[in-house]
Each structure stands twice: as structure tokens, then as C-alpha cells.
Amino acid sequence: MEADVFPGRSRLRAGVGFALAATLAIVLGWAAPAYAAVPDLVVDASNYDSASPKSADGWCEGGGAVGGGAYLSGAPGQAYFTAFGFAAATFSDGARATAAEDGDGFSGRWSVAAQTLCYPTRLPTYHNHFLGKRGPFASLVTNEASCYEGEVALAGNARLYSSDGGKFYLSHLIPSADLTSWSAVGREDPLYTAGSASLYLDLACVNADELSGLVRVSASTAAGTDTNALAVAKCPLGKYLVGSGFSVGGVGIFVDDVRISPTGVSVAAYEGQAATTANWSVVAYALCSSGW
């Protein structure tokens, strides 16, 4: 086992990680996969304190990482993701998430945790497209990136950056229906409208003929004015999760829980303190494969 480069963080691995995945699958009613290569769910959590921002990395030993999730604990509607996706080193090493408190801060304690699924073997071929592509500095930033011809995009890595103190949150990270691209959206925090931001989006791409039965599954909540909402996307029987995404409508609605298991993803969002009064909904996206 590698040294933990984040002292003070909690880390779940091996049998403990799989037990957590199995429990989550039972609670959410997901069917067990139909074949044997069950991945291990790894969770890495930041310190639980009042510091902001926070980051967490869920790493696989020896690679084999696919899928990625993250969730916040302790600050519903008062903190949000500013970065979400695979770790910057290589896609197959793990997942990373960064979160920050909203515009007027939060006095309590909270944490961010990153999740990844660790498979027994790496994907046969993958390419890290660190495109360095960014949207313009603005109050609403969008970005889209595509893989090369003959490839599919398993993961998007979105990161907001501000050089002038702007506070922005990720509201969308979506795999395309044809599985070849991802799009991302960053929105300005309605409690803090000074400053601006840019949005970087990188992709992890895999040769399409080396991944069997890849499909995109989505699930949406009904539009409404509830203070929180939860959407669950389940993989078809016999397929495993290899990628996850999310989107939420409305200003000031924060996705703060994108939780994965071997067979699906759940996405939860909360209204912030200056959220829209209009109807809104949340969408969960799952990329599922029958193997490689």
C-alpha cells in the first residue's frame, strides 16, 4: 500500500470498500452484477473541519480506476464542487474532487470525500486528453471536449479557476448521448457576484472496440421547488459503472453528492441560500459497460 500523502484523512480500501459498495447497492435496490470481476470501492475523505476549500483523492493501487464520485458532509446547501473528475496524474489512478463554501461562508464543520471504483485490471487502452481547454472568464462558463475518432469518452475532468477571487460552482458535467464527448457548466455563486472564472475540461478516452456494451443511462427528478432532490441512475443487469455525471437546473442549486456503486450512481442537490424560486430538477448519468 502506498503512503497516504494526505495525513489526517480517512481512507477505505479492499474488503471495507466493497462492503460499503454492497451496502449501498442493497439500500438503493441495485441488482448485483452478472459476472465476477467485482470492483473495489475506494473512498478518501478530507478533514472534517471549518476550513475551505477542501480536496480529496480516491486512489487505486496499481491503477485500474474507472468511475468517479464525490460527496460533501456537514454543509447542505452551503458548499459546492469546484472541481470534479479523475485525478490529474492519470485517469486510471483514481478520482479527485474539490469543494468550497458558498459566498457568505459556513461556520460549521464539513468535509469532502472522493470515490473511485478499482477494477482488477486496467482498461486495455486509454488516452488522457489533457486539453487545457477553457471557457471565457464570465459569470456563466461552459465547455465541451471530444475524443478522437474511434474513441469513447469515459470520464470528464472539470475544474473552475478564478484569478480575481470569483466564486463559482459546477452545475453540469454530462457525457454525450453518442458517448464521444463531455460538456461542463460553471455558474457564479449568487451570494458573491464579484470576480470571474474559467472552466477547464479534460477527457479520458478509450478505443471504442475495446470496451463491450457501453451505454449511457440517465435518470431525472420531476421539476419542483423542493429544497433538495435525489436522482438515481442504475446500470442494466450485467453491466458495471465506468463513468458518472450530473446536471442541475436553476440558479443557486448545488450538486453536493454524486455517490457511486459498482452498478449505478445517485446524485443529490440542495437549494442554496439565494436559490431560484422557480422549478428545478437534478439528473444523474451513468456510463455502464459489460467488460473489456
Three-state DSSP class for residue 239: coil
Q: Quote the pTM value.
A: 0.84
Contact residues for 226 (Cβ-Cβ < 8 A; gap 6+): none
E strands along the chain, which residues?
A: 10-12, 40-45, 54-59, 65-73, 79-86, 94-101, 111-118, 126-134, 140-146, 151-161, 168-175, 181-188, 198-207, 215-220, 228-234, 240-248, 253-261, 264-271, 282-289
The CATH number covering residue 94 comes to: 2.60.120.690
- 170 and 98 Cβ atoms separated by less than 8 Å: no
**Number of domains the chain contains:** 1
> HSE-up of 231 (CA within 13 Å, CB side)?
25
Residue 68, all three cell numbers: 468517479
Does residue 207 fall inside a structural domain?
yes
Does residue 196 fall inside a structural domain?
yes
Residue that the C-alpha cell 489512478 belongs to = 93
User: What residue type is assigned to position 120 of the chain?
Assistant: P
Instruction: Name the CA radius of gyration of the chain, rounded.
Output: 18
Does residue 5 fall inside a structural domain?
no
Domain that holds residue 134: 10-289
Does residue 115 fall inside a structural domain?
yes
Q: Peptide bond preceding 7: is omega within 30 degrees of 0, i.e. cis?
A: no
Contact residues for 95 (Cβ-Cβ < 8 A; gap 6+): 57, 58, 65, 67, 68, 69, 70, 85, 86, 87, 114, 115, 116
* Per-residue confidence (pLDDT) for residue 91, from 0 to 100: 56
How far apart CA 187 and CA 197 sit, in angstroms, is 9
Residue 209, all three cell numbers: 472496440
Does residue 44 fall inside a structural domain?
yes
Residue 63, all three cell numbers: 491503477
Element (H, E) at 17: helix 14-28
- 45 and 9 Cβ atoms separated by less than 8 Å: yes
How far apart CA 248 and CA 268 sit, in angstroms, is 9
**Cβ contacts of 7-13, under 8 Å, gap ≥ 24:** 8/47, 9/44, 9/45, 9/46, 9/47, 9/56, 10/43, 10/44, 10/45, 11/42, 11/43, 11/44, 11/45, 12/41, 12/42, 12/43, 13/40, 13/42, 13/61
Three-state DSSP class for residue 251: coil
Does residue 4 fall inside a structural domain?
no
* Per-residue confidence (pLDDT) for residue 61, from 0 to 100: 77
Does residue 246 fall inside a structural domain?
yes
- 95 and 86 Cβ atoms separated by less than 8 Å: yes
Does residue 2 fall inside a structural domain?
no
Could you list the pLDDT tens digit for every one of the 292 residues in the chain? 333 222 233 334 333 333 444 444 434 444 443 333 678 888 999 999 999 999 998 888 766 777 789 999 998 889 999 999 876 555 567 788 999 999 888 889 999 999 988 887 766 555 555 554 556 677 788 888 888 889 898 888 899 988 777 789 999 999 999 999 999 999 999 888 788 888 888 888 888 888 889 999 999 999 988 889 999 999 999 898 989 999 998 888 999 999 999 999 999 999 888 877 889 999 999 999 988 7
